[in-house]
Amino acid sequence: MTLDLPEKTAIELFQRLEDQRIRYAVLRNHENFPQFGHDIDLVMHPDDFPRWQQLAVQLAQNQQWQALTYCSHWAQSATPHHCIQVYRFYNQNPLVYLQVDIFQAYLLWALPLMTESALLNSAQKDDRGFWRLDPAVENMFRLLQINNLLKNPNCPEQKIIRYRQRVLDYANAHESVFLAQLQACFRSDGLPLLRALRDESYQAFQKAATTIKFNYLKQELRKRPGLTLSRMMDRALDYFSNFFSNPCGFVVNIYAEPDADWTQLTNLLNRLQQANLLYGWTDRNRNSKSLSWPERGVLERGGIVLKTVSQPQAAKFILSAQPNELALETSLITLLIDRHETLCTSCTSSVQNQEVFS
């Protein structure tokens, strides 16, 4: 079987983690290893971050990726448990992408249900050569993932079905172990959650998940009121930054000539999204100078918002009747790379102040 670049990188990644004795565990989506889909989610001991970053640079160079970047947009909170370190591997030819997200806790709202040390203590060595969470812990978190998926109107139904089946397969095979894990973290609230999932009663399932969250919040407020309120405030400030003052994504101003062809641009953006290089994009409000709430949501997740401007000197791109597709692709990818701290790159140069596609 021929492996693609992300798959070969994933295999070497875990070999290097083992060789350097970095303390980590895979959080989820390892079932089709070495295929991870959009990203590899890890929990890692914070003392190992410097060695991890050196490892990531060496890995990108060895596998000949075009660029490796570090995104700190989700690592700004004053509460370390909120922070996610994001590393992005980019390649244009072939057009492939790999993202590694490093978490420091599993949260219920702003509060750590399990810290990084608790997650690592639950880790088990998988037969395929990497460390992963205890399956009971992993499937407990998957229950809450399903609740989040149900809230997303754009989530494919098949994904919810797949996640549900994974939880039920584990629960049916290891019922006593799984129930003990739910009891340990959710007390008596966990059983109604699992029961509703088995019955495929999603309204009851979401109600049970909300009950778990509120009861956990009340528990933390009783135990440590000052710290809990501080963590919630830090989370609120973090959300404000990501949505308003410092989003991960960015706006691209475009001056469109009278006969400009938007087709190649929109097709390219769709292709970048399908290849996972781009979270998403929108031009639905491109003639308005202000940002709508949906546009801010795209920016918060690292996407691109297109805006048209009336003067070419105010534009990043000038779009003509027959844009150069390769130049357009190269410039968009370089914009994505230059948005974040570049750890290593084989790019010849960054895009200039303005690109003309004709």
Predicted confidence (pLDDT) per residue in 225-277, tens digit: 999 999 999 999 999 999 999 999 999 999 988 888 888 899 999 999 999 99
**CA pair distance 216, 171, nearest whole angstrom:** 23
What does residue 250 show for φ and ψ, rounded to 5 degrees?
Answer: -155, 160
DSSP category for residue 81: G
Long-range pairs, 184-191, Cβ under 8 A, ≥24: 185/113, 185/114, 185/140, 186/140, 186/212, 186/215, 186/216, 187/215, 189/215, 190/140
User: In the chain, which stretches have pLDDT less than 50?
Assistant: 347-353, 357-358
pLDDT at 135: 96
Structure tokens at 220: 């933390």
pLDDT at 181: 96
Q: Which domains does the chain have, with CATH numbers?
A: 1-133 (3.30.460), 134-246 (no CATH), 248-341 (3.30.2330)
Answer whether 319's CB lies under 8 Å from 255's CB: yes
pTM of the model: 0.92
Bridge partner list, 319 = 256, 357
Among 143, 149, 106, 67, CA closest to 345: 67
What residues contact residue 8 under an 8 Å CB cut-off, 6+ apart? 34, 63
